[in-house]
Amino acid sequence: MLKIRTPKNGKVRRELEKRAPKIVETGKKTLILHGTKTSGVLNAVLTELYHLKKESSVKYSRKNDGIKPFESGGDSSLEFFSLKTDCSIIVYGSHSKKRPDNLVIGRTYDHKIYDLVEVGIENFKSMHSFTYDKKLSPRVGSKPFITFIGEGFENVEELKHLKEVLLDLFRGEVVENLNLAGLDRVYVCTAISPNKVFLTHCALRLKKSGSVVPRMELVEVGPSMDMVVRRHRLPSDGLRKEAMKTAKDQAKKKEKNVSQDAIQGKIGRIYIPDQKVGDMAIPDKSKGVKRERREAKMKNKDDGPASKKPKEDSEKPKENSE
């Protein structure tokens, strides 16, 4: 029986709460790993993916043995690294005679493998092979546009799955509002065939168009590559339902003294405590007191002047000593 260890102080408890699954997820971190054997092309691909996601990624350069994501028990090391680094997306590169320049992109839920997509890299071009004005270089950590061109992303199951994975890989943190002036990069994904996608990275230039919407120009800055889908594994229905749970699916907390009406809408009930007016202290300068004094004064005038008591001298007369 496994012993459940509880945090001993507040710092550890807060760190565990940050890593726990959330209904509204924050930005996803990416873990980049090397397999037992990798080629020069694959090393360049992993390095440039790390540079594109430098602020939200972790890269291990050491080779890792025994990782076979699509085999039973072969993904335990990936789950261990995901838990260790708190990363939700894993990019694993390996090279063999049967599957050259092989790249596996996987997502995790609660640090367990959620789904996997395996692609082969072809016609790779690095950032250094493109000539452009360096002033157009996208800023590190900027929010990108992601566009998918081709009917295959809507009709072919493998490309639909690849589209979901690439969106999670490149979009970063989900935001509600975005400043148009801060957009400086675009990822363009084009479906060439039912199992092949061309991916390129472009810089975005916004120019005046004479209207509110600016004119956009794309300048290819790299990297670019062809991705050939080889294998993919979808999540189970139970795991998908648990991972797709949103805040609306949760039971709403009952609001006290609030009800809904079909005609009047939201109705609230307000409870006002007893004012206890009779126990309130009335100040002396109130109008009622002044009126009573005025009436009493008028009554005394009608009755006549009041007799005054003779003032008694406090000092007795001194006796004559004569």
End-to-end CA distance of the chain: 124
Domain 25-232 has CATH 3.40.50.10480: yes
Task: Give the tens place of pLDDT for each residue, 205-229.
Answer: 888 888 877 888 899 998 999 999 9
pLDDT for 307: 53
User: Which is higher by pLDDT, 30 or 211?
Assistant: 30
SS3 294: helix
Share of residues in the chain with pLDDT > 90 (%): 38
What are the Cα distances from residue 317, in Å, to 235, 311, 313, 314? Answer: 120, 15, 9, 10
Size of the chain in residues: 322
| Structure token digits, residue 159 | 């490309």
Q: Considering the entire predicted model, what is its pTM?
A: 0.71
Domain boundaries, the chain: 25-232
d(CA 82, CA 90): 8
Say if residues 127 and 223 touch (Cβ distance below 8 Å): yes
Can you point out the beta strands (E) in the chain? 30-34, 57-63, 89-94, 102-109, 112-125, 145-149, 185-193, 196-207, 215-233, 258-261, 265-268
User: Which is higher by pLDDT, 69 or 314?
Assistant: 69
d(CA 115, CA 138): 30
Task: Give the tens place of pLDDT for each residue, 134-183.
Answer: 888 888 878 899 999 999 999 999 999 999 999 999 988 877 787 777 78
224 strand-pairing partners: 125, 200
